[in-house]
Amino acid sequence: MPLLTLTTDIGQQDFIVGAVKGQMFTATPNLQIADITHYLPHDNFAHAAYICKNAFAYYPDNTIHLILLNLFESTTLHFVICQYNHQFIVCPNNGIISMITEQTPENSVVLPIINATNTLQITQQVATAIQKLMNKESLENIGTKGLNIIEKSMMKPSVGEKWMEGQIIFIDNFDNVIVNITKTEFEKQRNGRKYSIIFKRNETVQLFSNNYADVKEGDNLAWFNSAGYLEIAINKGKAAELYGLENYNQNMVNHGTAYHNKWFYQVVRIIFE
């Protein structure tokens, strides 16, 4: 039975997610759909890429992953359909694909969306493309090769001889804080040295924990979570709320006579001795 995952920024307060699923079932009646989340932030691609990348990795070969994110960023809408890690990703051509895959997959095509003014008109065309993909049609028969695919880069930690600094990219429902430093990156930069993890209000963690049970209730901790990323937490507490940590801040910056949005990511620093 073909498997499709659905990941969106739509929420579940109205009928849209249910209607999209109906379109997919109508196009491919024997389809199985798995929800990943419908609460992606439409303006924080680092957060969205973290969710998608780490969820997609656990699905079987030939799974199709449909992402609906920030559909109306541009008046001209295209979708990217690509093959990646023996799976397929279908998403808007707005840069999210390269943030998930950390490259532009070679086996990819662009699907223009024609005369669509609302979400369901868009997804109806996408449902037709997914049906062809389920029927094992080649990507070249579904979309167009050679069209420009927008690329955006996932933020990388900054490093110096005695330090590294990462940005907060995600805060989960328990107010645990995820930073874009992986265990591999940390160990490479650490090179066997002692370290201190420093975050807002000069809070410090001296050692990584294996899990929450390593510290007393109410104590803070740092560990590498199941996705391999640095996580700041409090055992049975809310780290983000207590320490005033956020995954981004939106500020209005004055440029002459105009104000523009500027996004600031809070940082966590590791000092090596």
Angle at 64 between CA 62 and CA 68, to 5 degrees: 165
Are 1 and 32 in contact by the 8 Å Cβ rule? The answer is: yes
The residue among 21, 139, 122 whose CA lies nearest residue 69 is: 122
Domains and CATH numbers, the chain: 3-142 (3.40.50.10790), 158-272 (2.40.30.90)
For residue range 228-251, list pLDDT tens digits in order. 999 999 999 999 888 888 876 544
Give residue 25's pLDDT.
97
| DSSP code for 208 | B
C-alpha to C-alpha distance for 160 and 165, rounded to whole angstroms: 9
Q: Count other C-beta atoms under 10 Å from residue 106's C-beta.
A: 8
Are 142 and 105 in contact by the 8 Å Cβ rule? The answer is: no
For residue range 101-116, list pLDDT tens digits in order. 988 788 999 999 999 9
Tell whether the model's pLDDT for residue 11 goes beyond 60: yes
Angle at 118 between CA 130 and CA 71, to 5 degrees: 65
Alpha helices in the chain (DSSP H): 16-27, 45-56, 96-101, 119-134, 139-142, 183-190, 239-243
> Which pTM value belongs to this model?
0.88
Give residue 254's pLDDT.
43
C-alpha to C-alpha distance for 9 and 80, rounded to whole angstroms: 17
| 3-state secondary structure (DSSP) of residue 200 | helix
Q: In this structure, what token pair is assigned to residue 118?
A: 């609302």
For residue range 36-92, list pLDDT tens digits in order. 999 998 888 999 999 999 999 999 999 999 999 999 887 778 999 999 999 999 999
